[in-house]
Amino acid sequence: MVRENLENVEKRILNACQRVGRHPEDVTLVCVSKTKPAEMIQDAYGYGKREFGENKAQELREKYDVLPKDIIWHFIGHLQTNKVKYVVGRAGLIHSVDSCRLAQAIEAESVKKGVVSHILVEVNVAQEASKFGLRTEETLELVKQAAALPHLRIDGLMTIAPFVENPEQNRPVFQQLRELSVDIDSKNIDNVSMGILSMGMTNDYEIAIEEGATHVRVGTGIFGERNYHIEQSEGCRRI
């Protein structure tokens, strides 16, 4: 199943690139493997995939420890400061930095481990109350604050678009993230690149690519539906 799904997603990425005259090499497919077993990741790895996305710190740590070391892990979930220790030194890119406090915690852990951490700033473009991320107008300030931390590299911006029936509805969201990134880039802040735009999921990644996404995060479209019941019962047991 994973193989057919990957082929299908890659074909759609190629077609979306062709529609707007972009090079497919400029779009990275992040295979979102959260809740899925290591064997499924190994399967995708066997088909050449090297970039995987996880949204839970401990799950990232567990998978990191058992899977090949040339995998680039993307941390895409909400990150609590007390979990930063599991992610720094393991994730190649942290997509979800949305506060100065979190940026400082990543800086401190990076110092401790002697690494430089690459991050994206998460923007809640659509201003959904249920989602994390900064408001558009707060973003520049956080970028500036994080840029002053010597063990962080700000590589760009990330957004999670609303769940919509018709993915076309998210086109303005992707356009706004791109405009914000161009705007921040024009300020030429030291230590800041706006090279990465992480936007688009299974439902809307083709539209995101048309609007400039460099990283699309696709889970269900590759690994199938997730079963959250298992996760929930484990959570209950811990209490």
Residues that bind ligand PLP (CB under 6 A): 32, 34, 55, 76-77, 160, 201-203, 217-221
Nearer to ligand PLP, 212 or 221 (CB): 221
Nearer to ligand PLP, 109 or 122 (CB): 122
Nearest-approach distance from CB 184 to ligand PLP, in angstroms: 21
- E-state strands within the chain: 28-32, 51-54, 72-75, 91-97, 117-122, 152-158, 192-198, 215-218
DSSP symbol at 163: P
What 3-state class would DSSP assign to 101? helix
Residue pair 97/88 in contact by the 8 Å Cβ criterion: no
Q: What is the Cα 63 distance to its own chain's centre?
A: 17
Nearest-approach distance from CB 202 to ligand PLP, in angstroms: 3
Nearer to ligand PLP, 152 or 161 (CB): 161
Nearest-approach distance from CB 215 to ligand PLP, in angstroms: 10
Nearer to ligand PLP, 62 or 147 (CB): 62
Nearer to ligand PLP, 15 or 187 (CB): 15
Q: Is 21 left (phi over 0), alpha (psi -120 to 50) or beta?
A: left
- E-state strands within 89-185: 91-97, 117-122, 152-158
Nearest-approach distance from CB 76 to ligand PLP, in angstroms: 4
Nearest-approach distance from CB 228 to ligand PLP, in angstroms: 11
User: Angle at Cα 143 formed by Cα 137 and Cα 147, nearest 5°?
Assistant: 160
Residue nearest to ligand PLP (CB): 219
